[in-house]
Amino acid sequence: MSKEITARAEDYSKWYNDLVLKGGLADYSAVRGCMVIKPYGFALWEGMRDVLDRMFKETGHQNAYFPLFIPKSFLSKEASHVEGFAKECAVVTHYRLKNDPNGGGVIVDPEAKLEEELIVRPTSETIIWNTYKDWIQSYRDLPLLINQWANVVRWEMRTRLFLRTAEFLWQEGHTAHATAEEAIAETKQMLEVYADFAENYMAVPVVRGVKSPAERFAGAVDTYCIEALMQDGKALQAGTSHFLGQNFAKAFEVQFSNKENKLDYVWATSWGVSTRLIGALIMAHSDDDGLILPPRIAPLQVVIVPIYKGEEQKAKIDEKVHAIMADLKKAGIRVKYDDSDNARPGWKFAEYEMKGVPVRIALGARDLENNVAEVARRDTKEKSSLSLDGLAERIGALLEEIQQQMFNKAKTYRDEHITPANTMEEFEHLLDTKGGFIAAHWDGTTETEEEIKERTKATIRCIPLNNKQEAGTCILTGKPSTQRVLFARAY
Amino acid sequence: MSKEITARAEDYSKWYNDLVLKGGLADYSAVRGCMVIKPYGFALWEGMRDVLDRMFKETGHQNAYFPLFIPKSFLSKEASHVEGFAKECAVVTHYRLKNDPNGGGVIVDPEAKLEEELIVRPTSETIIWNTYKDWIQSYRDLPLLINQWANVVRWEMRTRLFLRTAEFLWQEGHTAHATAEEAIAETKQMLEVYADFAENYMAVPVVRGVKSPAERFAGAVDTYCIEALMQDGKALQAGTSHFLGQNFAKAFEVQFSNKENKLDYVWATSWGVSTRLIGALIMAHSDDDGLILPPRIAPLQVVIVPIYKGEEQKAKIDEKVHAIMADLKKAGIRVKYDDSDNARPGWKFAEYEMKGVPVRIALGARDLENNVAEVARRDTKEKSSLSLDGLAERIGALLEEIQQQMFNKAKTYRDEHITPANTMEEFEHLLDTKGGFIAAHWDGTTETEEEIKERTKATIRCIPLNNKQEAGTCILTGKPSTQRVLFARAY
């Protein structure tokens, strides 16, 4: 092995960090809570971004870009919004440095104090709705369907690479509509886009649901979410889509004249996913030997490693590999030939296992004689000897098979980890022994939710869409309930 | 006309703002000096970014992402770097807001003061070289070829949409090399990439050159640049590529063991272009009727407008247009069919002229009978009647022709505006009457450059690469000089 990875069973959290750091995805930075996304990690994000961006455009959205800074007063205009974000804001107060006349080096110039402090955006509803005010006059200006790819900052006290960082990259959609129905339909549509992406590209099965009031986005009427399950039995919120009602339109005075020529406030949605998805991807699939990336978003899908003695063998392999590469590329497969001579094949094998490349092809002199190559899958570690004839087609099919099996495996695990509990005792026992989602009756109050959280560290992840209705009693208070909701400990 | 545009001759600066605002490229924001990039402007930027990104990757670079914030002490580590940027830094001093106990609303929480202030990156050399320290140990880790797409902030006092904004979007390449020669070659290669992009995609001819010491990037040994000429005779720096020597490696203690196993400081380059390019694009080509965008980066290359009376005619035109659209899309042409019924054809024509769409196709019932369409070029306003047979091929060729002619026109203008001057009198007269680049002898001192700037507002834009050597005397001091350099008033 090229690099030691902590085993999941030994220390799950350390295993995760090892994968991120040694897999070349990200690094710590000199700025508290901020990370550096390394080239391999960024290539992964670019791939995810490109798929999502296409999905957004196919559903009629356009990209735009709004300022990084938000005047402090804007944040305060929507009451619950400021309450949600005030505690973790990076605040710009000055606009100049100068040399300390007392020899203290470079200092903030006290004369360059801003009249109004600027907040580094934690999310952009306020600055965007302040802009929409100028863009929307009539129903003809609606719907306004805009997305932004941006960095945002939330000054978290406890950070984890990708999962929770002070600065992170994300996209935030902000749409404006003439009716509540249309806005709700948009909210649900974008949730479905996220679920499609998570399941069909990341191979991560998700529960689609609605948040309880306590877990709602600050300023939303309803927060829809997709919830994924990690291998340690903890849940991870992978994306949210908010129906904002007229809250931001009212806060920023955004009215339009409707078809009846009457003034009304505009209806809003916002929705976002972030680099946090990379954390979900890692924890859903990877193993003790490194990352396992689903083919559809793996930056590199196939790596070819030559096995040879001497330049003559090498030359013959090179020639064949170039033909194979051309075929693979023609089939749209992302492939790399690693013929660097500074590492032995075994070291390379371990390195690409670490990096989660879905398929490895090894080609030696003997293989060449037999017109075959050794093909190894990263996910199952199965190896097979495949004919060089029609190899590209076989590899293409194999990549699809891997994608499917990765999803199926994660789904089986997830489905086996949705367990009903009917008493608090059962609930706590399940949390401590099995983890996963616990389906339990809840009386619908925030007080109960908070007490359960206090006692067990589990929160309501969501009330699944199209949830089965059944009579029951709250596991904490015994009060009547009409449905089970999903609890879990979560990232 | 749908919207009034100020004529260039009347007020060039207002004309520019009209184009940006009414062309739907950008808008002012509530934050001083920051702009909102609107969907059409952002689509233009995306197109430019995608081409550049491909060029960077083809020359071996990978993308990564570094923190938005830079600890104040980092900025100070390279002496001339901090001097260059300290005067325009947005400074984060606190990380929390709270409710004013005295009822003053939401205020900055004085207890949440950062131990060390953070600067919102004006450029990322310092944070990146602090990171490279951990990534580079040996010559085997070199070259390190990384690019970042990011937002940066420079607190400019006088701002102009796209040309000079407090926050802007850009890319910054940061590479590390084992030798000075290699780093210089990289610096020049990236300058060539920028020149290629400006000329062959933006259709903007550029002078490739080197900056005088006074105009160098803060921290660079040499700054290479491409300089473009706007229609008002002012120059615009369109991209820079810096050879940083070992300055940042020394400031951040980045050493590597070379092939001889000796420790040496790493050699560096950095290079960037920004959303400022959009300003250059607008001012190089557009006219009093609106934007003129070069086909290769126009978000929309062709718009089709139907001209009809009644639903029956419309249905026939629709059918034909769908076939034409399919052909055009198959040929990789970005096309839109605007059959919205809320505006008359004349209004639409003006709107797409305003937006600079290179080719407009109008199709009426009579045209359909004659199997022709009216094709109008945005750049020359020429119209012609083209057969519907083989239309996609003709349009493809026309787009290429437009691209070429736009470049040729801009180049002719630029070439006619490089004028020699041999005395200060001649120099000042040329600046005030003709503008453009003035090729003049200069004694090579910063003092002279500054006095000329003081007197004329003209600066040395660059010393062209492969500049002709000729004996002469400085126009200001009469001291001997070996070459002419290019002066201009500039954006």
Test B120 with A68 for CB contact under 8 angstroms.
yes
The model's confidence at residue B83, banded by pLDDT at 50, 70 and 90, is confident
Is residue B178 within 8 A of residue B156, CB to CB? The reply is no
pLDDT digits (tens, 9 = 90+) for A268-309: 999 999 999 999 999 999 999 999 999 999 999 999 999 999
Predicted local confidence at residue A1, as pLDDT: 44
**A233 vs chain B: nearest CA distance in angstroms?**
31
**Residue-range domains of chain A with CATH:** 12-285 (3.30.930.10), 302-405 (3.40.50.800), 418-488 (3.30.110.30)
A65, A81, A175, best to mutate vs chain B, most B CBs in 10 Å: A65
Q: Residues of chain B with pLDDT > 70: what percent?
A: 99
Element (H, E) at B350: helix B345-354
Of A37, A119, A167, Cβ closest to residue B68: A167
Q: Could you say which of A65, A74, A108 has the minimum Cβ distance to residue B42? A: A65
Which of A173, A232, A209 is CA-nearest to residue A14? Answer: A232
Identify the residue among B61, B65, B88 best suited for mutation to test binding to A, counting A beta carbons within 10 A and taking the highest: B65
With an 8 Å Cβ cutoff, are A106 and B72 in contact?
yes
Q: What is the pLDDT of residue A201?
A: 98
Query: Given A68, A106, A117, which is nearest B86 (Cβ)?
Result: A106
Give per-residue pLDDT as tens, A74-121: 998 988 888 889 999 999 999 999 998 888 889 999 999 999 999 999
B157, pLDDT greater than 90? no
User: Are A277 and A48 spatial neighbours (Cβ–Cβ below 8 Å)?
Assistant: yes
pLDDT digits (tens, 9 = 90+) for B175-192: 999 999 999 999 999 999
Judge: A30–B127 Cβ closer than 8 Å, yes or no.
yes
Band the pLDDT of B98: cuts 50, 70, 90.
very high
| Tokens matching residue A138 | 């009539």
Residues of chain A with pLDDT under 50: 1-2
What is the distance in angstroms between the Cα of A348 and the nearest Cα belonging to chain B? 16
Shortest CA distance from A63: residue in chain B: B39
Rounded to whole angstroms, the Cα distance separating A429 from A148 reads 43
CA nearest to B145 within chain A: A39
CB burial string B7-20: b at 16+ within 10 A, e below: ebeeebeebbbbbb
Cβ contacts of A155 on chain B, cutoff 8 Å: 95-96
Could you give the 3-state DSSP secondary structure of residue B424?
A: helix
| Size of the A and B interface in Cβ pairs below 8 Å | 192
β-strands A335-337, A302-307 pairing:
parallel
Least confident interval from A286-300, B95-109, B387-401: B95-109
At A193, list the tokens: 């886009």
Residue B419 pLDDT exceeds 90: yes
Residue in A42, A70, A72 nearest the CB of B65: A42
Q: Is the predicted pLDDT of residue B1 greater than 60, yes or no?
A: no
Across the range B332-358, mean pLDDT stands at 96
Nearest to A39 among B68, B119, B146 (CB): B146
Q: Which two tokens stand for residue B406?
A: 């736009």
CA separation for the pair B150, B13 (Å, rounded):
28
Contact B90 A95 (CB under 8 A): yes
Instruction: Please tell me the distance in Å from B216's CA to the nearest CA on chain A.
Output: 21
Average pLDDT over residues B50-58: 98
Tokens of A365: 């002199």
Three-point CA angle A266, A272, A276, nearest 5°: 165
Chain-centroid distance, C-alpha B127 = 24
Least Cα distance to A476 among B36, A228, A450, B333 occurs for A450
CB contact (8 A) between residue A86 and residue B97: yes
> Residue B70: which of B176, B169, B152, B166 has the closest Cα?
B152
A31 neighbourhood in chain B, CB within 8 Å: 67, 69-71, 118, 127
Please answer yes or no on whether A65 and B37 come within 8 Å at the CB atom.
yes
Give the best residue of B68, B148, B252 to mutate against chain A (max A CB count within 10 A).
B68
Q: Using CA coordinates, name the residue in chain A closest to B36.
A: A66
Residues in B closer than 8 angstroms to A113, CB to CB, are none
Which residue has 């109960």 as its token pair?
A448
- Nearest Cα residue in chain B from A76: B106
- Which whole-number Å values give the CA distances from A130 to A63, A78, B55, in the listed order? 17, 12, 37
Q: Strand pairing of B302-307 and B359-364? A: parallel
As for the ipTM of the complex, it is 0.97
Residues from chain A that touch B342, judged by Cβ atoms under 8 A, are 140
Per-residue burial over A27-61, b = 16 or more CB atoms within 10 Å of its CB, e = otherwise: bbbbbbbbbbbbbbbbbbbebbbebbbebbeeeeb
